[in-house]
Amino acid sequence: MTDPLDYFYKNRTIIPHGLKPLSLIIITYNRAADTLQLLRNIVALDNCNDLLQEIIIVNNASTNSYEELEQFIHDHPQHPFVYSRTEKNLGVSGGRNYAIKKSTAPILVFLDDDALFRNADALLFIQKIFSEEQQSGNNAGIAAFRVYYFDTLELQQNAFPHKKFQDRKDLPHFETSYFSGCAHAIRKSVFDAAGYYPENFFYGMEEYDLSYRAIQAGYKIVYDNRVNVLHKESPLGRMPAEEKIRGMWVNKSKTAWKYLPMIYFISTSILWSFEYLRRTRYYLRGWLKGWNQIIKIPSQEKKTTLDRNSLNYLRKVSARLWY
């Protein structure tokens, strides 16, 4: 029988005896009720305490009360909760980096605070995904999951880790070029090799930046539909504020500049500028502000174009590079 911890061996170094395979990370801001529901969901999962080294909750300087959640943690010492509150809002990337540094398990599972696991055996399958990849000789460092809208149980297309949604939505497993931030797992060795999330990305597209660096470091990204997540985002979208849309445009352009050939930086900047106008109903002041930020990118960001093998991988998995 194969040792279930085989895939945690790195460079023939065995993880310390007694260390569990998974750490679960939740970054929360002003969603106390949703986060409490998620904690109740997690502790009801199959083999929760056997598989989770810690459940890390980072309260990202919320202004709302988390007293009920804190009481729940206090009343359940049998579960490995690690709760902390930051002094200021670190953003998505900063909050995740803060939690990563507190984690100790070989695989880190990230879930948005307004999400829930749909299948009780989700943790078992997360472990199995990486074990199977390792046994097949596939150096998978990141796994993306199947995400449904909480209210309608429809697949959430904007959380699906491939732009060819119709072609791939029914596939159980495939390699891809990026992952969705609301629900995914990453081997901790990826952060050792590729670095942490970019902290100058306060909101949006930080997953693309990390994905490209992970691919450059020799890791693959996989999607697997055996882990199912319910996400409370509305199918109509959250109608993000102008600043968030502009942040997504600028950050996607920044990522294209840093890692892709120049033509993709140009196409991404232009095509996303049209998307910005469409989604903000032609808010020209913000559009000009976005372009002002983008023209500064070449002087502010170091360009480290992906090597040939990494670009070939992106083409092999049919990554959309133009925007």
pLDDT tens digit sequence for 161-174: 999 999 999 999 99
So what's the pLDDT on residue 4? 31
So what's the pLDDT on residue 236? 52
Asked if 130 and 7 count as a contact pair (C-beta separation under 8 A), the reply is yes
Q: Band of the pLDDT at 9, cuts 50, 70, 90?
A: very low
Q: pTM score, two decimals? A: 0.91
Asked if 185 and 143 count as a contact pair (C-beta separation under 8 A), the reply is yes
Q: Band of the pLDDT at 203, cuts 50, 70, 90?
A: confident
State what percent of residues in the chain have pLDDT above 90: 88
C-alpha 207/C-alpha 227 separation (Å) is: 19
Q: Over the chain, what is the mean pLDDT? A: 92
Work out the average pLDDT over 206-235: 95
Work out the average pLDDT over 110-133: 97
pLDDT single digits (tens) 69-118: 999 999 999 999 999 999 999 999 999 999 999 999 999 999 999 999 99
Look at 14 and 203; give whichever has higher pLDDT.
203
Asked if 200 and 257 count as a contact pair (C-beta separation under 8 A), the reply is no
Q: Band of the pLDDT at 2, cuts 50, 70, 90?
A: very low
For the chain, give the number of residues: 323
Q: How deeply is 101 buried, as exposed, middle or buried, from its count of CB atoms within 10 A (0-12, 13-18, 19+)?
A: exposed
C-alpha 90/C-alpha 48 separation (Å) is: 28
Work out the average pLDDT over 57-74: 97
Q: Band of the pLDDT at 206, cuts 50, 70, 90?
A: very high
C-alpha 230/C-alpha 254 separation (Å) is: 31
Q: What are phi and psi of 23, to 5 degrees?
A: -115, 135
